[in-house]
Structure 1
Amino acid sequence: MTGHLIVTDEDATRVLTLRRPEKKNAITHGMYRAMSEAIDTAQNNPEIRCLIITGGSGVFTAGNDLEDFVATATAEAGPFGASDAIRFLYSLAQNTKPIVAAVDGIAVGIGTTLLFHCDYVLASTTATFSTPFIHLGLVPEGASSLLMPRTMGYHRAFAALVMGRVVTAEEAREAGFVNVVVAPGHTEAEARKVAREICALPAEAVAISRKLLRTPPEDLTRRIDQEGHLFGERMKSKEAIAAFQAFFKRKKV
């Protein structure tokens, strides 16, 4: 496990805590691998009844660590679909345990798209959600092009995924991908309460009902692969190269 991800098992719940505050919990490839392992190893563990994903107080995640992401993407000889990010998305798509997300602060890129694979989402009043893929010359990922229109409706999804509009916590609740909005600093504690409520339910009935409610994993992985192929192509595009150069130039100023 990477030091930037803390995994703890408490009672019947596995808690995945992003812990890279100096980078606003920006996700590295090592963090993706650690999250995949934490999710995958919970699948056949009957003692784990629920998962929580949190960034702690003040921030959820700034999304991909772009420097790490670009360096790895340009160095890899294989297809983009083989990346650690895609492996993590597969873990989410194939997961069978209820996932509760606790979002306090910014949720950028995959920080937003992963929420559509979760079953219950709590957000603080200061939480914001954004998917600025287009601004980097890229396309949506995480099966978000499938899940977001189904959850939010096409027009809201277009504004978020294509126009890159920022969504507030209350707007997210109205759009249907946040269950409850709470005070800052209280998302994780409230998420633990929800997890305890889920863990107290009959496990087999929960698993069967969840399967009936959710989009089939094969549909999700098919869309993840489609997006991943296009994402990889876009990484080499003139638009994306110019956008990344501009981003890193601004960062140095």
Structure 2
Amino acid sequence: MTGHVTVTDEDAVRVIRLSRPDKKNAITQDMYRDMSAAIDSAQGDASVRCLIISGEPGVFTAGNDLEDFLKAGTSNTGTPRASEAIKFLHSLAHNAKPIVAAVDGIAIGIGTTMLFHCDQVIASTRATFATPFIHLGLVPEGASSLLAPWMMGHQRAFSMLVMGRKLDAEEAREAGFVNAVVAPESLEAEAQKVAREIASLPAEAVAASRKLLKHTPEDLIRRIDHESHLFGERMRSAEAVAAFKAFFARKKS
């Protein structure tokens, strides 16, 4: 573990917490690796019956650490996408344990698209959700092009994934991918309450029912990999190169 992801098990619930507050929990390749390991190792552990993914108070995640992401994603032109990010998405696709997300503050890029793989999403009143892929000359990822229209309809998904429109917590609840909106100080307790409720149910029945409700892992992996291929092509496009140059110029100014 890098120290930027903490994993704790208590009362049949595994909490995976992003903990890099100085960088707004921006996710590095090492952090993706740690999250994947926490999810994968839970699959064969009968004592873990539900997962929680959360961040530090005030911020869920700013998405990819772009400098780390670009370094990993463009180091080899034959493999343009950051492999640990894809492995994490595959872990979400194959995961068979219920996931509760506790979202406080910003959830940008993969910080939002990972939520489409969760079974319950609890947001604080100060949570916001944004997928600014287009503004960087890129395309949606994480099977969001499959899951978002399925959850919220084409028009809302288009507004979010293509136009880059940001949603606040109530708008996300109305769109259908947030279950409840609570005060920031109540977020952790509410997520734990929901996770313990799920963990108390008959585990085999939960697993079978969840499988009925979800897209198959094969469908998710197929879409993740297709998006990844397009994402890699876009990373090398003139549009994306110009967008990233402008982004880093703004950061330095």
TM-score normalised by the chain length of structure 2: 0.98
Aligned length: 253
Q: For the residues of structure 2 that align with 1:48 and 1:77, how far apart are their CA atoms?
A: 39
What SS class does the counterpart of residue 14 from structure 1 fall into?
strand
TM-superposed deviation, 1:188: 1.6
Q: Does 1:149 align with 2:149?
A: yes
Q: Partner letter of residue 243 of structure 1?
A: A
TM-score normalised by the chain length of structure 1: 0.98
Task: Give the conservation status (yes or no) of the 8 Å contact 2:21–2:56.
Answer: no
The C-alpha deviation readout for 1:171-212, integer Å capped at 9, x for no partner, is 100110000000013212210011110011000000000000
Task: Give the conservation status (yes or no) of the 8 Å contact 1:105–1:128.
Answer: yes
The C-alpha deviation readout for 1:112-145, integer Å capped at 9, x for no partner, is 0000000000000110000000000000000000
Q: For the residues of structure 2 that align with 1:188 and 1:115, how far apart are their CA atoms?
A: 16
Q: For the residues of structure 1 that align with 2:66 and 2:219, how far apart are their CA atoms?
A: 28
Q: For the residues of structure 1 that align with 2:130 and 2:10, how far apart are their CA atoms?
A: 31
Task: Give the conservation status (yes or no) of the 8 Å contact 2:72–2:81.
Answer: no
> Which residue number corresponds to residue 69 of structure 1?
69
TM-superposed deviation, 1:79: 1.9
Task: Give the conservation status (yes or no) of the 8 Å contact 1:104–1:185.
Answer: no
| Aligned sequence identity (%) | 72
TM-superposed deviation, 1:249: 0.6
Gaps of 5+ in 1: none
TM-superposed deviation, 1:148: 0.1
What SS class does the counterpart of residue 185 from structure 2 fall into?
coil
Q: Superposition pairs for residues 88-127 of structure 1, below 5 Å? A: 88-127=88-127
Q: Partner letter of residue 96 of structure 1?
A: A
> Which residue number corresponds to residue 182 of structure 1?
182
Q: For the residues of structure 2 that align with 1:78 and 1:69, how far apart are their CA atoms?
A: 16
Task: Give the conservation status (yes or no) of the 8 Å contact 2:74–2:80.
Answer: no
Gaps of 5+ in 2: none
What SS class does the counterpart of residue 139 from structure 2 fall into?
coil
TM-superposed deviation, 1:78: 4.2
The C-alpha deviation readout for 1:231-253, integer Å capped at 9, x for no partner, is 00000000000000001111111
Task: Give the conservation status (yes or no) of the 8 Å contact 1:24–1:59.
Answer: yes
| Runs of 4+ in structure 1 over 4 Å off | none
> Which residue number corresponds to residue 241 of structure 1?
241
Q: Does 1:231 align with 2:231?
A: yes
Task: Give the conservation status (yes or no) of the 8 Å contact 1:102–1:122.
Answer: yes
Task: Give the conservation status (yes or no) of the 8 Å contact 2:52–2:195.
Answer: yes
